[in-house]
Structure 1
Amino acid sequence: MNPIQPVADRQAGAGALFAFLAFLIWGLSPIYWKALHGVGAFEIILHRILWSFAFLMPLVCIGRHWAEFKKTIKSPKMLSILLVTAILVGANWLIYIWAVNNGRVLQASLGYYINPLVNIVLGMVFLRERLRRAQAVAVVLATLGVINLTFRYGVFPWVSLALAFSFGIYGLVRKVAAVGALVGLTVETLLLTVPAGIWVFHLHHIQSGAFLYTGIKTDLLLLGTGVLTATPLLLFNLGARRITLATLGFIQYTAPTGMLLLGITLFGEPFTGIQAVTFGLIWTALAIYSWDTVRIHRKQASKREEVTHGLLPGAGIRKS
């Protein structure tokens, strides 16, 4: 028995738990944003930016990421890239919170279900990645789901598509930035902190903002937006380092599933037969996409194993 295997198993188990908790928090976050329903979505985003930076900056120092942080802010190219991603993630946050507080949690859920399939399309368009047959089928099914909702329900699902594409493009651009998730998000919030701070000060000056004017509960909830932003991110990073991308891909559906269940049960949003057809097509697409991802992952892992043991031509001398 390989003595390293039990340690690897424990690492994988811990990683899966961390990732699950991260996506569970994201999936249940509508409860938190609903508690701030009396505050405008734009003002919530302003506070989320400010308090996220205030919470993240000490974590950069404690986690010994200071050198990476300084290197990043001294690079004009990196700052330019992160300014773009900051605007994208800010827009994603704004649309999501607006959707939650305007009774569109199901559309938000659909958006995050669609996101992995949007990533495939973006990879094909911008990175010239070739679609495998299973991926093409998944994208077609997802497209049919959107068309069904648009023409039969009579409402274009702009919230779902805006969330999926803003986050998908965010991930695409972040691929160019060679910076860790924690430092990257800290710099992104830093770049948005000055305009957000000025706007919050303006709202406070004209006494039209919620902070310090609508009660201690609202103040604490606004302060807590930083913790809500950073905690799942840290858990995600801890998990992603310990498990495979295929496993992470499965766990990520915890978030939109949580949103879907909250929308139907706790928030009482209608779930019609037309929506059921759309979600059914999306779920089928995701099942095909996930199966294909696992298949390719296992094939690549098997190939690496063969190379490691010298079983493939050109792999060197076969180990005895």
Structure 2
Amino acid sequence: MGEERSGYLYGLLAYTLWGFFPIYFKLLKPATPLEILAHRVIWSVAFVGLLLAVMRNWRFLAKLLRSPRQFGGMALAALLIAVNWAVYIYGVNSDRVLETALGYFITPLVLVVFGVTLERERLRRWQWAAVGLGAAAVVVLTVDYGRLPYIALALAASFGSYGLVKKRMSLPPAQGLFVESGVLALPALAYLIWLTAAGHAEFGHVSVPHTLLMIGAGVATAVPLLLFAAAANRVSMVGIGILQYVAPILQLACGLLLFHEPMPPARLAGFCLVWVALIIFTADAIRQNRRKQNRRKRTVTGPTAATAEPVTALPPR
């Protein structure tokens, strides 16, 4: 199997696992979202720490501790991903799986908005069209819900912000997850100690399978991330961008087919607007990627004779 094909396989596995997360987190009830989050953090540290110990890869910690700015960035990333995890677990266990799926559908559009407002990037006209449709979808869904779809917006904003912070970091996924979970480990452990002392902890008091599933939350967190890293090293960013829709599509299917959440016509219209926006956004990204590839090919294989016409780059749009 070639590198690219294996990359797509790793990516598909990662996003498929993320897509079935609603089923996993539903099984962790009656534990509260905060208890689930705390265990997810603690067992992520344990699992990834064991993995790094086997790999004997601890040099990054010394480098990180010598760079307060980088450590501060990782601490901010940890806070943002904790918010994202907490909101997601709350959404799933309060029977709003469809809204969590919506959050990950609109994340690419939120990233575009961040690019304009924070990175001062210029949008192409089709990107503006996609963002406009996404804004219209939020309006339609707000009318349908009778409120802002705050779970979806919080998921998109927190994960988009996390992506921006991570863009400036240089740690590989395993090391990054270890540091982020490590930053959160002490507050998580303190919360679990308090919860147990107060007699409100569900861990170890429901059943053996429930306890094992709580412990397994760390593995469930780390494995898709490591698969994603393997995919990202082998597949183009456009390919990864298309694969990322697998997870919310599966989450949507879980919400509709397994948990029988309602999808009235107005809500369906809002989702359709989001899907049209994503089709426009993805098609524009593919077109731009092809143009860049064609430019590179023309630069490499273009005429070199003195009398030949110079190769001119396509104008940006």
Question: How far apart, CA to CA, are the structure 2 residues paired with 1:308 and 1:53?
Answer: 47
Give the structure 2 partner of residue 286 of structure 1.
278
Asked if the contact 1:108–1:163 (Cα under 8 Å) also holds between the matched residues in 2, the reply is: yes
Which of 262, 266, 283 is the matching residue for 1:274? 266
The code of the aligned residue for 1:109 comes to A
1:121 aligns with 2:113: yes
Give me the whole-angstrom Cα distance separating, in 2, the residues matched to 1:314 and 1:280: 42
Query: Partner of 1:139 in structure 2?
Result: 131
Point out 4+ residue stretches in structure 1 off by more than 3 angstroms: 61-65, 310-315
Residue aligning to 1:234: 226
Given candidates 145, 161, 165, the residue that maps to 2:157 is 165
CA distance in 1, matches of 2:144, 2:220: 37
Assess if the C-alpha contact under 8 Å between 1:72 and 1:179 holds in 2.
no
Deviation at 1:71, TM superposition (A): 1.4
Residue deviations 1:198-246, cap 9 Å, x none? 1112222232211122221221111000010001001000111101111
SS at match of 2:165: helix
TM-score by length of 2: 0.93
Asked whether the equivalents of residues 153 and 274 of structure 1 are also in contact (C-alpha less than 8 Å), the reply is no
Question: Which letter maps to 1:263?
Answer: G
CA distance in 2, matches of 1:19, 1:69: 28
Distance 1:137 1:84 in 2: 32
Partner of 1:318: none
Structure 1 residue 301 and structure 2 residue 267: aligned? Answer: no
Q: Offset at 1:310? A: 4.6
2:41 maps to amino acid: I
**For 1:128-169, what per-residue CA distance to the aligned partner results, in whole angstroms no more than 9, with x for missing partners?**
000111100000001000001112442310000000000001
Equivalent residue, structure 1, for 2:240? 248
- Structure 2 CA distance, aligned partners of 1:314 and 1:286? 33
- Is 1:263 aligned to 2:252, yes or no? no
Q: Deviations over 1:275-320 (max 9, x none)?
A: 11011100000000000100111111111222233548489xxxxx
1:1-320 equivalences in 2 (<5 Å): 10-63=2-55, 65-311=57-303, 313=310
Change in 2 beyond 3 A, CA 1:309/1:66 = farther
Q: Distance in 2 between matches of 1:280 and 1:104?
A: 18
Deviation per CA, 1:63-84, whole angstroms, max 9, x where unpaired? 4542223312332111111111
Following TM superposition, by how much is the alpha carbon of 1:264 offset from its aligned partner in structure 2, in angstroms?
A: 0.4
AA matched with 1:288:
I
- What is the Cα deviation at residue 113 of structure 1? 0.2
List gaps (5 residues or longer) in structure 1. Answer: 1-8, 316-320
Q: In the alignment, residue 168 of structure 1 is paired with which amino acid? A: G
Q: Is the 8 A contact 2:105 2:248 kept in 1?
A: yes
Q: What are the superposed Cα offsets for residues 176-212 of structure 1, whole Å, 9 maximum, x if unpaired?
A: 2222222111101011111111111222223221112
> C-alpha separation between the residues in 2 aligned to 1:258 and 1:242?
24
Larger displacement relative to structure 2 (170-179 or 260-269)? 170-179
Identical columns (%): 39
The answer to whether the Cα contact below 8 Å between 2:144 and 2:267 also exists between their aligned partners in 1 is no
Unaligned runs of 5+ in 2: 305-309, 313-317
After superposition, the Cα gap between the structure-2 partners of 1:117 and 1:214, relative to the gap in structure 1 and judged at 3 Å, is same
How many residues are aligned here? 307
Matches of 1:65 and 1:108, distance apart in 2: 35
